[in-house]
Amino acid sequence: MAAQLPDKILLNGAFQHLYSNPLEHYWIRMDKKRPLFYPLPNCKRGYVASWEVRDSQLFLRDIDGNYERTTFFFGKESARFGIKILFPKSGNRLIKANWFSGKLRVPQGKMTIYDEDYGSRFEQEIIITVEKGNIVKMVTIDYTQRVLIVNSQMKKRALA
């Protein structure tokens, strides 16, 4: 099996890979039926979502994928899935991810251990803790130097 396409996150002015899928929590938390996305060999979930961290909040920017929709005249057909299907009143605004609480994993540096899913290890990782769409903590784990950097205060602490 191929490595899976990660979501993307705009963090500190650059798009980076996001080894978490906060959109999956939307269908669970909001008690909504998940669309029937067409899985791909390199994307089992069938879509890639784009996110942004802005003003200490997590926002959904876009969704890109294909899904099966049912129409009155033509029955089932393939269609493009985007943010306006999920949030039709959003216009061009970002959607605050208030349904999501958890940790986001943003790999940094060279890959040191490969895994087909999101289990790969990198030289560093940014871990973002989110509560109802609000960023409560952001730390960088540096596996090469064995330190934890608290991004908001930039304190270093040796890992055990």
Alpha-carbon distance of 20 to 12, in angstroms, equals: 18
Domain that holds residue 130: 102-158
Same domain flag for 89 and 108: no
Same domain flag for 88 and 129: no
Contacts 24+ apart (CB under 8 A), 112-117: 112/143, 114/3, 116/1, 116/2, 116/3, 116/4, 117/3, 117/4
Q: Which candidate, 136, 135, 99, 113, places its Cα nearest to that of 21?
A: 99
- The verdict on residue 117 lying in a domain is yes
- The verdict on residue 1 lying in a domain is no
Pairing of the two strands 75-81 and 57-71? antiparallel
Q: How many CA atoms lie within 13 A of 8 on its CB side?
A: 12
- The verdict on residue 79 lying in a domain is yes
Same domain flag for 126 and 55: no
pLDDT in tens, the chain (160 residues): 456 899 999 998 999 999 999 999 999 999 999 999 999 888 999 999 999 999 999 999 999 999 988 877 778 888 899 999 999 988 878 999 999 999 999 999 998 888 777 778 889 999 999 999 999 999 999 988 888 888 753 334 444 4
